[in-house]
Structure 1
Amino acid sequence: MNFLKTAMLLAALTALLMVLGYMFGGAGGAMIALVVAAGMNFFTYWNADKIVLRMHHAREVDAATAPDFYGLVAQLARNAGLPMPKVYIVDTQAPNAFATGRDPEHAAVAATTGLLQMLSRDEVAAVMAHELGHVRNRDTLVMTMVATIAGAVSMIANFGLFFGGNRGNGGAAAGILAVLIAPFAAMIVQMAISRTREYGADRAGAEICGNPAALASALAKISGAAQRIPNPVTERNPAAAQLYIVPVGLSELFSTHPKTEKRIAALQAMQGSASSVRASRPSALDPLRRGRR
């Protein structure tokens, strides 16, 4: 089912590109848009992690350069039954985290320095467990591909408006219509799946770290700070906002994530339900704490 939803999402975004191509270049424009979309899908599939990490100027860390953070992710990956992902830190005060990669064997997780400084160790563990939940649920590929293609929809719409006016009043009207509708249509298609995936990653993250309350607390802290502290990446590329555990720079109507309050309420319900959380599992931090005694 997850594969089918992913295929439908990418097909819808590709169709949007073809419609824009047809509006600005007729049948030939539609074919060019199809070729561009196919090329983007293929390139992004093999380079999803590199695209996102380069966008954020992320630096890779290991057990020598960031022993606590790396060891924490390693323990969480074992809890989740996942291969060890690559671990990155993004040097920015904007508190957030994300995961990327085409599959669990080629995954990477990243946290900002702002997030690591703001949250407690339990909260950091819960956030990274959420990101590993995305990896385990195989969300990371489509999240990156959607960010790339949705960005292309907006780019082509603006390109068509600039050049479409030369085809007379009809071309100018079509260009204006495309600029107004296409980006919103891309967001609507995108958020149709993204919102359900965030709930799934929250649930998986709570199970992996064994502490839904810590994830709820982290979401509350990140949500408040993320709106106050500028994020240079989303300022350059708004489509990147959907990659984060808490998105920034998007109105509620077009947000790819559910309301933070609803996510917190769902996690609080998990905390109170012994059947939803593996109560017998020790905290993901326990092995690290024992090692530091």
Structure 2
Amino acid sequence: MPLLLVNVFLIALFAACGFAFGAPLIGVMVGLTLCLATLLWYKSATGMVLKTLQAPRLTEETARDPIQLMFLGDAQQMRDLAGLSHTQIHIVETHLPLAFSMGTRKGPSKIVISNGLLKTLTRAEIAAVIGHELGHLRAGDAMLNAMRMTLSQFVTKTGLRPVFSAFRRVLPGSTLLAGVLMKPECRADAYSAALCQDPKILASALKKLERGVRAVQWSALEELPFLAEVAVVNPFLAKESYDRPEKSETAHRLAELYRLEPEERAA
């Protein structure tokens, strides 16, 4: 749906511009060309992100050790339970405890995790993190993640990052906006809690991830800064919250998890 709205907006915008300048047909053609470019970008963005991160698909044949194999089995069970058996799992070789998702509920979808995640969390906590990402996929939150990450990479390479960073620094000042941005995370947390039937598992994972990402540096974040925003716990915000715990997004999510009633957890 977001991609459709973008394409409709592009066609309408350039058609209106073309009509205003006396060339409506040219305006429509430009709009259609941009729509095609957007579609090609959407189709290729996921592969570009996986190539940048060097994240191969994790299968029974490519699993390097029993831990990865055990994780893959658990992830497959979670996918089937969520009705997303088509979702593929990819793995990144890095110490940073990382997990994020790309794709849609009905179309191609991928969950990317890191070796650092497998070393940081327990088996049950890793399953809860996978449940969180499945929640994003079911809700459609991850549809444009790959496009956003490739755009982030482009902005970084072209030297425009300081301009965007200056603009984004004013966003957390709005409590209303911060609340809107947190809704997808809390919704995915609640879905994970329902799958695992215990919010305390994901709560424990979030605490460990926040501590873990504070202690690790990862150069890929310099090329793909948006990757931090789609991770289960944002490394940049986790470091900031160490000095200002009242600003911790993780604390807000933990509070929401602990508020879940037993009947909601079992739903």
TM-score scaled to structure 2, two decimals?
A: 0.73
Q: Are the equivalent residues in 1 in contact too, given 2:129–2:205 (CA < 8 A)?
A: yes
Shift of 1:4: 5.9
Task: Name the structure 1 match of 2:232.
Answer: 245
Distance change >3 Å, CA 140–CA 6, structure 1 → 2 = farther
Deviations 1:248-293 (Å, cap 9, x if unpaired)? 235869xxx97000101111122xx1221117xxxxxxxxxxxxxx
SS of alignment partner, residue 78 of structure 1: helix
Return 5+ residue gaps in structure 2 as ranges.
14-30, 242-246
Task: Name the structure 2 match of 1:219.
Answer: 206
Task: Name the structure 1 match of 2:189.
Answer: 202
How far apart are the structure 1 equivalents of 2:180 and 2:41? 19
Task: Name the structure 1 match of 2:18.
Answer: none
2:97 to 80, 95, 98: 95
SS of alignment partner, residue 264 of structure 2: coil
How far apart are the structure 1 equivalents of 2:75 and 2:4? 27
Distance change >3 Å, CA 63–CA 154, structure 1 → 2 = closer
How far apart are the structure 1 equivalents of 2:123 and 2:218? 23
Task: Name the structure 1 match of 2:73.
Answer: 71
Q: In structure 2, what residue type is equivalent to 1:240?
A: L
Shift of 1:132: 0.9
Q: Are the equivalent residues in 2 in contact too, given 1:37–1:149 (CA < 8 A)?
A: no
Distance change >3 Å, CA 186–CA 134, structure 1 → 2 = farther
Deviations 1:70-96 (Å, cap 9, x if unpaired)? 111111112112223111111111111
Task: Name the structure 2 match of 1:171.
Answer: none
1:1-293 equivalences in 2 (<5 Å): 3=1, 7=5, 41-64=38-61, 65=63, 66-152=68-154, 158=160, 180=163, 184=167, 188=171, 194-250=181-237, 259-270=249-260, 273-278=261-266
How far apart are the structure 2 equivalents of 1:36 and 1:223? 43
SS of alignment partner, residue 276 of structure 1: helix
Distance change >3 Å, CA 181–CA 240, structure 1 → 2 = closer
Q: Are the equivalent residues in 2 in contact too, given 1:41–1:145 (CA < 8 A)?
A: no
Task: Name the structure 1 match of 2:17.
Answer: none
Return 5+ residue gaps in structure 1 as ranges.
16-33, 160-178, 280-293
Q: Percent identity?
A: 26
How far apart are the structure 2 equivalents of 1:63 and 1:90? 16
Distance change >3 Å, CA 4–CA 114, structure 1 → 2 = closer
Distance change >3 Å, CA 110–CA 150, structure 1 → 2 = closer
Shift of 1:142: 2.0
Q: Are the equivalent residues in 2 in contact too, given 1:77–1:132 (CA < 8 A)?
A: yes
Q: In structure 2, what residue type is equivalent to 1:184?
A: F
Q: Compare 107-116 and 185-194 and name the one that shifted more.
A: 185-194
Distance change >3 Å, CA 6–CA 131, structure 1 → 2 = farther
How far apart are the structure 1 equivalents of 2:50 and 2:164? 30
Shift of 1:222: 0.4
Shift of 1:117: 1.1
Distance change >3 Å, CA 140–CA 238, structure 1 → 2 = same
Shift of 1:6: 8.9
SS of alignment partner, residue 108 of structure 1: strand
Q: RMSD across aligned C-alpha pairs, in angstroms?
A: 3.8
How far apart are the structure 1 equivalents of 2:97 and 2:145? 19
Distance change >3 Å, CA 40–CA 145, structure 1 → 2 = farther
How far apart are the structure 1 equivalents of 2:166 and 2:184? 21
Shift of 1:200: 1.3
